[in-house]
Amino acid sequence: MTGVDYDEDLETVVVRTDGQTTYEDKLKKKTRTSGCAVGTVFGDMMEGLEGVQLPKVQVKTSDLYALASRINQTPSLYLEAGAIHGTVLCQGARPLVYMEDVGRHNAVDKIAGWMFSEAVSADDKLLYTTGRLTSEMVIKTALMGIPVLASRSGFTAWGVEIAQAVGLTLIGRMRGKRFMCLSGEDRLLRDADPAAVPDEGRKTGRKGANE
pLDDT band at 71 (very low <50, low <70, confident <90, very high): confident
Q: Residue by residue, what is the 3-state secondary structure of 58-112?
A: CEEHHHHHHHHHHHHHCCCHHHHHCCCEEEEEEECCEEEEEEEECCHHHHHHHHH
**Do residue 100 and residue 30 come from a single domain?**
no
**Do residue 100 and residue 179 come from a single domain?**
yes
The tens digit of pLDDT for each residue in 153-172 reads 899 999 999 999 999 999 99
Domain-embedded: residue 8:
yes
What's the whole-number mean pLDDT along residues 181-203?
85
**Do residue 104 and residue 164 come from a single domain?**
yes
DSSP state of 203: P
Domain-embedded: residue 160:
yes
Host domain of residue 69: 59-196
Number of domains in the chain: 2
pLDDT band at 13 (very low <50, low <70, confident <90, very high): confident
pLDDT at residue 91 tops 50: yes
pTM of the shown model: 0.75
**Do residue 127 and residue 161 come from a single domain?**
yes
Count of other CB atoms within 10 angstroms of residue 113:
11
Residue 10 to residue 12: CA distance in whole angstroms? 5
Count H helices and E strands in the chain, helices first: 6, 12
DSSP state of 208: P
Domain-embedded: residue 204:
no
**Which residues does 120 contact at the CB level (< 8 Å), separation at least 6?**
89, 96, 114
The tens digit of pLDDT for each residue in 101-138 reads 888 888 999 999 999 999 999 999 999 998 889 998 99
